[in-house]
Each structure stands twice: as structure tokens, then as C-alpha cells.
A and B are shown apart, each in its own frame.
Chain A
């Protein structure tokens, strides 16, 4: 950003048009920007003519984490685990049932009227579907300008058409589109271009925090990397903080600084991206990472395949939610506390939190066998299993086939059977 256009608008968030921001963003990087405290989002299940509530779908069921200023926080998990609902609740597109969301210390969930509107400008959304997220009857100038008009005040002058149109063009250019596309309609653009328009719409309000809801999963693979790189550039350029939801683990690894793994409405593991991909400790995370395909076709990877289906979030299992599908629990001969006690989301090492009673019994050597991203060197700061008196898993039992290529869900049915020649004894838990 060296040109005059940048100085006039988008590249200078401290310029009057973009609105003032307290302090330089760089100084405050690393502080928590968004703090989520015990957030719950339940949906009532209604039945009968009287529409009585007969139950609740616990889409998000007690989530604690924070997104630090300037970072990309990746959120992964299977479809239906609540990651999108979590993001939508944070930006107030869904109504939270309980809990707190703090933006710079201000309670987002309690805002209404003018405060809510101000907050909306600071927290923006990039949607998954590049077709559905642009109104087919509006020209681009209105699609991007609409938010500006809604957020117009005396200071930014966005109430004036000329100011608004110039800003729309500026941001089209920022996302790599032509300035004069403003009068075109969404149907005249390709999927990647539409997603760029969606990004421009979010950026035009000079937000601090962006919830990106699977922004590349609806795109062609060749376009995905373009959009990811664009997001990375924009993050630098505008000091953005991202909550990045995806189900593609490689995408999350590429873009994130820290990663949270969700299962059935709860965070089960959270760590820096390198730590999480190299030393996963939650059995669910290990199973997820094991599903990453290796680009080298000669490598015969052993894949850990989860058995059974995801339980219903309306009636989650007792104790640890993952116990019904947990391979670690089976290898440890079904310890009782998995079924009875909900594991706390505890800190295993600095910045690495896991919700598993038996996380210490997983050793890297065993993980490396099934996880292509694993790093075999054991970090010194992790407590050794012997210290906490936990059983050790030295080898992870993989299902019948050694080179599984199907996705985990499809293979779930046959995954329970073990091949006879595979040694069973030593893989069972040892104290």
C-alpha cells in the first residue's frame, strides 16, 4: 500500500474516514480482543399444537476461550458440532442462552440500540456461500454501501452518496477487483469474485474482528488458496483479528495462529497451531488429524477411524461427550470416569488446553503413527505420563485396513473390526 488511494481510505484505519481506534493496534497485539465465557446457545425443540418446548438442542454448550488481538483463531470440528453457531452467537446473529462475550471488555450480549450498532461495526462476518450472501437484486455499490449507510455518522460522512461510492470502489480495489464494478450485479461475477465482494463488504466498515464462516469451503480448490492468501494479506494490512471456522484441517493449519477443536458443542482441545498439529492430546483431535490425506501417494498412512455416529446434541452422552466413540477409552479398558465425569478443559502445557481425563496417556510416538502432521520429538514442557500416574498408550490401535482412503464417516461402519494378525495385547493400556 504505497499509493494515494490507500492514504485516503482503506489502508489507513486511523484516518478520519475509517474512524479512530484506541491506541496503535500493534502495541496491543496479543491481548484478548474477544473473550468468550461459558457461552451456551440452545435451541428449543417444539412439538404439538401448543408448540410446547419438549427439549433443547445444545448447539453450543459451555465454551470458554479468547481470541487475541491480531491473531487468527481457527475453529475445527465435524459438521454439526456447533462451530458456526458459536461464531454466529459471538457476533450476535444468534441469541445466546447464557454466558458472556466480551469485546475489549464490553459485554457484547448485553448491548442494544446504539451500542449494538457500534459493536456491529467492530465485528463483521464473511459468509460461506458466495451466492447466498449477496442480494441478487442489488448492485455491488448497494451491497457494500448498505452497511456504510447504516453506520453513517457526522464524523465518517458515509451518509453522503459520493463518499460512500468512493469507499466502495476503494475496497473493491483492496480485494483485487476493478473499481468500476460497482454498478454490476452479483450474477455477473464468479464464485471467487463474489467471495471477494463479501470480504470487501466486511472490510468497508473497518472492523477489528472478523468471523469468517468457512469462507473458502464453497470455492473451487484453485480459488481457495487465492482467497486464503488475500485474507492473510488483509490481516496484515488492516490489523484484523479472525475467528476462522473451517472443516478443512489443512486450511486451518495454513491460516491459523491458534486452533480450537470442537466436538458436540464443546471445545475439546486448544493450542498453538504448531503444537496442536504436532502434539495432539485429545483422542478426538488425533482422529481428526489422522484423516488429513498425505499428498504423497506412496506413503501408506494408517488412519484412525472413529466408530459410530455423532450423538445428538439434543441428548449428549453423560460424562465426556466423546466417550461413546473414543478409541483411547477402549484401549484403556473403559475407565469409569469417562462415563461419569465431564472432563474439565484443563491446561496441559502452557497454552495447550485439553478436555480429556486421560490426555497424559497419549505419547507422541503413538500419535506419529497415525497423524501425518505429528512431530515425534517429545516437548520437554509436557509432563511425562509417569508423573501423573496415567496408563500409557504406546501404539494406537487402527482399524482393519492399513491404508484407508475413504473419509472417516463412510468407513465408520466397518471400522470396529480389527485384523487378526495385528498384535492386540501390547496395545492395551499398561500402567
Chain B
């Protein structure tokens, strides 16, 4: 301390108020993310699909529940035209663009909500197991092991049949996917917690008398957030594909409410009659969303790695 100067004097010194700009870990991560070209492309793709899903229904002139007049000549559906850019469906003549836009919104909603539930439950279970350890850890992790050894797709089909009698509402689908999606996250969070709780800064906090709750929320959770974010992001793509698969098999959301999966399911019947557009456009939407999310997830993984260069 330089002698002779009182605190008041020190505060008067010109350099004292200069606040040096300093970036925290999240700002550094954002800087790295911005330099990741594929991640930016993926994010743009994903955001585009989100925007399509959110504002598309207000722009498109058709109602997704509107059914066209039956037309024997075009029983397999009309091909893309100016009036119907993506064509329309067989038999009921619903506008495919309207279906895709609404389906995108619902599929994204199911994906995001189910992943969010997975992330919350998985973080909670994995966090408790990893931080407290001992018999609690053993019991929780054996439950996770047991659930992971079930063939999940069939369990989901069975649950869908049981909860929605074959035609579940979309919140039911969110519940089902959320219920089984947390297993992987729980394992991940437990592993991260096990390594973090040995860190010196956790010991330093304990040595200062900081409570367990505060250590968990101020030290452990923020430091385990990066892998959780990456896993959750990639999980959204997984749920969207899973939901499409379940709906395609006819165990998903009621066809009256379009999701990308059940649109595809209906298209199957007419694809051999030359109706490619009914399957192509929702399929392309799935590919774009999943691709976008995966690129974004890869970018996040790189950006959130603290060892990466700025």
C-alpha cells in the first residue's frame, strides 16, 4: 500500500474511476461463437425456422383446419402452384405450406419444452447424485441405468398409447419425451459435479463457511452449465426427430393438429401416386431444423470450452 495517501485521496486519483473493460466467460464464449462460421449458419437456419413457425400462420391466407372440396381428378393432391406454393394434400386438399408452417411451430415447441424438462430434471437428479455422493448417488444412478437399458422408443410408443390412446395432445408428447430425455443429462451433470466438487475454489468456499446451497448455485451450476447447454441444444433435435418418428407411426399427436411427423405420416398413402410435395416439404423442414440445431450445438461446444483460445 503506498503510504501517505488516505483512502479518500486514493479515491480522488484520476485512474481510480476508470473502469477497465473486462469480459466474463460468457462474453468470451460469445466472441468465440461469433467466429464460428458453421455455428452462425446453423443459428441462422434455426432462427429462420423459428420465425417461420411463429409468424408464418399470420401471413399465410389459409387456415390449417380448412379442408378443400373433394376433387376426383386430383384425389392425390394438387402439385405446387402460385396459389398453393407447396401444393396440397391428397383426399382432403389441405394446403401443405400451411401444414408445414404450423407443424414447424408445434414440432419446435415440443422439442424445446421437452428438452427444457429433460435439462431441469436431469440437472437436479445428476446434481444431487454428484454433489452428495454416497448411497443417494448409488440409488439414483442405478435407476438411471435401469431406465436407459429399456428400449426407449417402444416405451414411448407404449406410453403414448396409454396416455393419449393413440392420439395424444401435444402437451402429452412433451411430457413423454421430457420424462425419458433427462437420463443422459443426469449422467452428464453427475460426472461434471464429481469433478467440480474437488476443485480448490469449492474448498475455498467451504473453508469460508459458504453454505451447500450457495456452493451448488454459485459455483457448481454455473460451471456445469456449458455441457448442459450443449446437450440440451442437441437434445431439441433429438426430440424433434423422435416426435416425427412416433407421429409417423401414428402414435403421436392427432393429425388434426399438424406436426412435421404426422404430416409425413399422411403423405405416405399418396407418395406412390406421384404426390412428392406432401412428403418433401415437411421432410425438408425437419432436415433444416435438425441441421441448424446440430451446427449450433457444435459451435456452442467449441465456444463454451474454457480452454479454447479467444
**Residues of chain A having any CB pair with chain B under 8 Å:** 1-6, 8, 51, 88, 91-93, 116-117, 120-121, 123-125, 127-129, 132-139, 142-143, 146-147, 150-151, 170, 173-174, 179-180, 183-185, 187-188, 198, 201, 205
Contacts and interface: CB of A to CB of B under 8 A. Distances in A.
Given A1-B1, A5-B1, A146-B218, A183 B22 contact: yes
Given A121-B209, A180-B20, A2 B3 contact: yes
Contacts of B16: 179-180
Nearest to B210: A150
A165 B222 CA distance: 22
Contacts of A1: 1, 3
Interface string B24-58: 11000000000000000000000000000000000
A5 B10 contact: yes
B203 A93 contact: yes
A358 B8 CA distance: 64
Most buried by B among A129, A135, A150: A135
B12 interface: no
Given A129-B200, A132-B199, A179-B16, A3 B208 contact: no
B204 A198 contact: yes
Nearest to A93: B203
A179 B12 CA distance: 13
Interface residues of B, number: 38
Contact of A135 (B15, B201, B206, B214): B201
Given A132-B200, A136-B25, A179-B16, A146 B7 contact: no
A147 B205 contact: yes
Contacts of A137: 24-25, 222-223
21 contacts: A3-B3, A3-B5, A3-B7, A5-B1, A5-B10, A91-B207, A93-B203, A121-B209, A125-B207, A127-B200, A132-B199, A132-B200, A133-B203, A143-B201, A146-B214, A147-B209, A150-B214, A173-B1, A179-B10, A183-B22, A185-B24
A183 to B, nearest CB: 6
A103 B44 CA distance: 61
B23 interface: yes
B207 A124 contact: yes
Contacts of A91: 207
Nearest to B202: A135
Given A5-B5, A5-B7, A147-B210, 14 more contacts: A1-B1, A3-B1, A51-B138, A120-B207, A120-B208, A124-B208, A132-B201, A135-B223, A136-B306, A146-B208, A147-B204, A150-B205, A170-B7, A180-B18
Given A146-B205, A150-B208, A150-B209, A184 B22 contact: yes
Given A136-B223, A180-B19, A188-B22, A4 B210 contact: no
B151 interface: no
Contacts of A6: 1
B208 A127 contact: no
Contacts of B219: 135
Contacts of A201: 204, 208
Interface string B202-237: 011111111100100011001100000000000000
